[in-house]
Structures are given as C-alpha cells and as structure tokens.
C-alpha cells in the first residue's frame, strides 16, 4: 500500500489505519526520528511490542485474536493497514495478526516518514480515541 492508497481509504469506515509505534510517538509527544510529530488522522494505535510476552515471543494466538478483533470492530483483516516510522514494526503487527488467524492485513511501507513529506497530508496529535 502506498500513500495515495491510504489517502483514498482514510474516510472509508470499512478500513482501519493502525499506527504501530509507541504511544508517545503516536500522540506526538516525542519524535526522535522524523521532523514532524503525530500520526495519520483517524489512525488507531497498537504498539508492536504489545504483541509479545516477557520472554519476547508472540502472545498466544487466541489473545492476539481477541485484541485485534476488538480493535477491528467487525472490519475485515484485509481492511487493516499498518504503518510505523518506516515500515519495520508495522510488519510485526501484520505478522501478529497472521499468527492470530486474521490474515490479509496490509502495510503502508512508506509509513510516517513518507506521509509527512507532503504538507497537504493531514497530521493529528493526541489520542482522539481517549
């Protein structure tokens, strides 16, 4: 998925954009890498590290399935689009969904680093879901 694809589905309630970065980066409180802090407007946040237990292994599939299913709110797994800073930890979330038996999530590989290169694209800070 590219930036134009994300822009096309931003207002479509059948799709869910999910930021895979740490919550403080999602909220725009800190941004150690990119020149602009925040997240794609309307995106949810699931930090990639919340998919693993203390041993570093993925949580059991049923726990991840419950977590992602609640987040998806009835949407199809293939309508979930993960992004992060540059595409790396987004892959972790997509893999966690596969492990959970929810295949087909997409990755916006350009992620936040690409999104902010176009000043016409929206930027949101804070947590709109709280």
Domain count, the chain: 1
Q: Residue 20 carries which DSSP code?
A: -
Classify residue 79: in a domain, yes or no. Answer: yes
Task: Indicate whether 129 pLDDT > 80.
Answer: no
Quote the CA–CA distance of 60 and 123 in Å, as a whole number. 34
Classify residue 57: in a domain, yes or no. Answer: yes
Per the structure, the complete domain to which residue 25 belongs is given by: 3-115
Residues of 63-94 as b/e, b for ≥16 C-beta within 10 angstroms?
ebbebbbeebeeeebebbbbbbbebebbbbbb
| Residue positions annotated with a catalytic role | 84
> Where residue 59 sits, what CATH number does that domain have?
3.40.250.10
Q: What is the pLDDT of residues 105-125, one digit of tens each?
A: 999 999 999 999 999 999 999
For 88-116, what is the mean pLDDT? 97
Q: What is the pLDDT of residue 127?
A: 85
- pTM, full prediction: 0.94
> What is the Cβ-side half-sphere exposure of residue 21, based on CA atoms within 13 angstroms?
25
């Amino acid at each position: 998925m590219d930036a134009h694809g994300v822009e096309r589905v931003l207002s479509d309630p059948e799709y869910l954009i999910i930021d895979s970065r740490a919550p403080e980066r999602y909220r725009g409180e800190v941004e150690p890498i990119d020149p602009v802090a925040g997240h794609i407007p309307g995106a949810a946040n699931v930090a990639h590290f919340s998919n693993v237990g203390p041993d570093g292994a993925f949580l059991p599939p049923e726990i991840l399935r419950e977590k992602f299913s609640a987040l998806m709110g009835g949407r199809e797994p293939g309508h979930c689009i993960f992004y992060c800073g540059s595409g790396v930890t987004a892959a972790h979330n997509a893999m966690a969904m596969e492990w959970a038996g929810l295949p087909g999530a997409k990755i916006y590989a350009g992620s936040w680093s690409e999104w902010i290169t176009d000043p016409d694209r929206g930027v949101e800070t804070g947590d709109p879901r709280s």
